[in-house]
Every structure is written in C-alpha cells, then in structure tokens.
C-alpha cells in the first residue's frame, strides 16, 4: 500500500550531485543530507488512522423472566498500535550512498545516490569516468602533508620560475602520464583500432591502475600563486597535492597545495551541484529530474537509425559525453541501464 511518504521516497530515488564545502568530512555531509531527506519524506501526511472493533456487553438492566439474553454492542475504537506516536515515523532510515569520496581538505562535486540508484552508483564508481580538478598552489614552501595546513619543512626562492618553464614541466608530466595510460590500457599500438581510439582520446585503463592524469593545464600564473586544471582517473586528493609538490621540485623550488576543488565527476558538473542551503527534498527531486531529462535529451540527439552494434552504441555514449563534458569518456553499458539514465 503506497502511502504519501512512500511516493515521496520513490521520487527521491536517483542520482544527484552536491557541492561539498571545504573543512567538512564527507560522512557528515552524507548524514546531513539523509536527515534532511527523511524530514521531507516524513512530513508527508500520515495514513488514515486504523480502527478496530470491540464488542461490549450491554448491562442487563431489564431481565425478562426466564430469558438469559445477553446483547453485545460493537464499538469502533481507534487502534493505537498503528498510531505514529507508537510505531514511529514511517521512514527512519534511507540508504544514501556516496560516489567518489572527497577528503576534509578538499571541496567540490560529490555524487550521491538514494535507494535503488545506489546500484548505478556502484557501477559509476567502478567504471572509468574521469574527474576534473582545479588545484591552487603556492611556490616557495614545502610541508609534511603537501598542503598549506601542514608543518612547514622548507622554504625556497622562486624568482627564477617563469610561465614557460612551468608549462614545460607540466608538458613533461603529461607525457609520462600518457605513456602510463598506453601501458595500462593494454592495447596494441600497431593496430588501426587502437590508433583511432588514441586519436580521439578514448583510451582508458583496463582493470586496476595507479592514478593517471589524462589532461593537465596551467590556468593562472602569478608568482607565488598558480592554478592548475587536471583531468584524472583513479586518483586521491592526497595524490594531487603530491603532484603539486613534485611540480615545485621539478622547477628547483618547492610548492604546496592551497586548495583542491573538484569541478566535474563523470557526467555531473559543478553547474548543477547543490549548495548546502539546497540540501532539502524538493531541491533534490528537482536535481534528479533535471539530470534524467538531460540524459534523455542527449541520448535522443545521438540515436541513429539502422543497425546498432554494441561498440557503435558505446561510441555514441562517449561522443554524447564529449558534448556534455567537453572531453570524451568511455562509459560502460551501465549508462543504458534504467537505474542510471532513465
């Protein structure tokens, strides 16, 4: 029997992204979102109170001679066992799952899933979607945990660093990451198919791999501050802080990370991520609907008539992803599953 609360819960089952503020543990964020969603679900009007029938014997005031009649009257009394104050609210727990986690220091897009959509979340987690980060660095310092909140170890000069030196170092790092990608994707580079994939930038590692950066770019350089944009796979935020440290070392100086901000996680961009004022059920329902309609629109745009082989449909998904995110991804067939896309 679907009550209004259950209907609200079904509307909430889907994937959506939120913006995690810095300095907060991801688990606290997830718990806050769950509490807010529960408030919204339990705010729906409760079902009608149930009644039960109780038979009461009427007092035998008039006793006819010789008759032992006993009349019973039926009374409908409320069944308190199903009262919300006795049985509690309908929903006391909902399963809110987290996609790729963010540590306390970093901020950015965090993908959450509710209820049945958690299955799609595990598939998303395992598939090779890339993530976009914006790293802010500062030259001239080295700390023990590679971020500006750690214990200072070393101070260096950075006057000799120019923009083209920095870009040369970044190009070298990107080259080595590209080689690693080729190795881990386990394709034979002498074949035509592998060449085409590599040209389009659709190569992905096959199975487990260490963190690989598929794209690295300098956004802003004003010594001692600089900003990098990174697209990577299988990374941790700690690794990205270490990348900045290594950039400093390559430049014969030192650098620390002042901020890690995730701007994209797979198909979820920062544009539609919900800030903490909007972590409520109506906003989340709207975000889920928006994501689903955007997936449907992009799928409709890319459907081609005629024969559709498996690889061709996958390539379509990648190209439609490219349209959404600006670079192409190979998403597994999970994207065609109902739980994730529809």
Residue 107 binds other proteins, judged by CB under 8 A? yes
Residue 74 binds other proteins, judged by CB under 8 A? no
Residue 135 binds other proteins, judged by CB under 8 A? no
Q: Which two tokens stand for residue 2?
A: 């679907």
Return the bridge partners of 18, or none.
Answer: 110, 274
Residue 176 binds other proteins, judged by CB under 8 A? no
| Helix (H) or strand (E) segment spanning residue 5 | helix 4-12
Q: Which two tokens stand for residue 90?
A: 């309908």
Residue 21 binds other proteins, judged by CB under 8 A? yes
Residue 24 binds other proteins, judged by CB under 8 A? yes
Active site residue 265: no
Q: For residue 127, give the nearest of 321, 323, 324, 326 by alpha carbon.
A: 321
Look at residue 265 and give its three-state secondary structure: strand
Asked whether the bond before 224 is cis by omega within 30 degrees of 0, the reply is: yes
Nearer to other proteins, 87 or 303 (CB): 87
As a whole number of angstroms, the distance between CA 288 and CA 44 comes to 19
The percent of the chain in helix, strand and coil, each rounded to the nearest 5, is 40, 25, 35
DSSP of 49-99: PPEEEEEEEPP--S--TT-----EEEEEEE-GGGSHHHH--S-S---EEES
Residue 86 binds other proteins, judged by CB under 8 A? yes
Residue 23 binds other proteins, judged by CB under 8 A? yes
Residue 81 binds other proteins, judged by CB under 8 A? yes
Residue tagged active-site, from 103, 123, 283, 327: 103
Q: Which stretch binds other proteins (CB under 8 A): 86-94, 172-180, 282-290, 302-310?
A: 86-94
Distance of closest approach, residue 235 Cβ to other proteins, in angstroms = 21
**Restricting to residues 27-66, which ones interact with other proteins according to CB under 8 A?**
52, 56-57
Distance of closest approach, residue 45 Cβ to other proteins, in angstroms = 17
As a whole number of angstroms, the distance between CA 166 and CA 49 comes to 71
Question: Judged by CB under 8 A, which of 270, 285, 324, 334 binds other proteins?
Answer: 270
List of residues contacting other proteins (CB under 8 A): 19, 21-24, 52, 56-57, 68-70, 72, 79-83, 85-88, 107, 261, 270, 273, 275-277
List residues with catalytic annotation. Answer: 103
């Amino acid at each position: 029997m679907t009550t209004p609360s259950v209907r609200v819960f079904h509307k909430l089952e889907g994937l959506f992204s939120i913006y995690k503020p810095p300095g907060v543990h991801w688990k606290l964020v997830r718990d806050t979102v769950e509490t807010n969603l529960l408030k919204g679900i339990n705010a729906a009007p409760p079902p009608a109170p149930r009644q039960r029938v109780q038979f009461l014997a009427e007092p035998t005031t008039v006793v006819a001679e010789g008759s032992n009649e006993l009349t019973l009257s039926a009374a409908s009394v409320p069944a308190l066992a199903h009262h919300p104050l006795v049985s509690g609210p309908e929903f006391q727990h909902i399963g809110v799952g987290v996609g790729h986690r963010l540590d306390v220091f970093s901020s950015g897009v965090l993908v959450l899933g509710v209820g049945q959509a958690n299955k799609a979340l595990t598939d998303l987690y395992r598939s090779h979607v890339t993530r976009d980060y914006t790293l802010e660095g500062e030259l001239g310092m080295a700390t023990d945990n590679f971020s500006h909140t750690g214990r200072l170890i070393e101070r260096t000069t950075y006057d000799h660093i120019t923009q083209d030196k920095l870009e040369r170092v970044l190009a070298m790092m990107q080259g080595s990451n590209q080689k690693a990608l080729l190795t881990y994707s386990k394709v034979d580079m002498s074949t035509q198919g592998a060449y085409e994939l590599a040209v389009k930038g659709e190569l992905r590692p096959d199975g487990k791999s260490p963190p690989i950066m598929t794209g690295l770019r300098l956004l802003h350089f004003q010594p001692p501050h600089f900003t990098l944009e990174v697209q990577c796979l299988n990374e941790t935020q700690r690794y990205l802080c270490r990348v900045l440290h290594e950039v400093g070392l390559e430049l014969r100086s030192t650098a620390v990370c002042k901020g890690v901000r995730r701007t994209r996680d797979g198909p979820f961009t920062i544009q539609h991520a919900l800030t903490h004022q909007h972590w409520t059920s109506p906003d989340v329902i709207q975000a889920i609907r928006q994501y689903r309609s955007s997936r449907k629109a992009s799928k409709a745009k890319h459907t081609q008539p005629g024969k559709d082989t498996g690889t061709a449909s996958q390539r379509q998904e990648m190209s439609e992803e490219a349209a959404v995110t600006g670079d192409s991804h190979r998403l597994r067939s999970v994207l065609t599953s109902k739980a994730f896309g529809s």
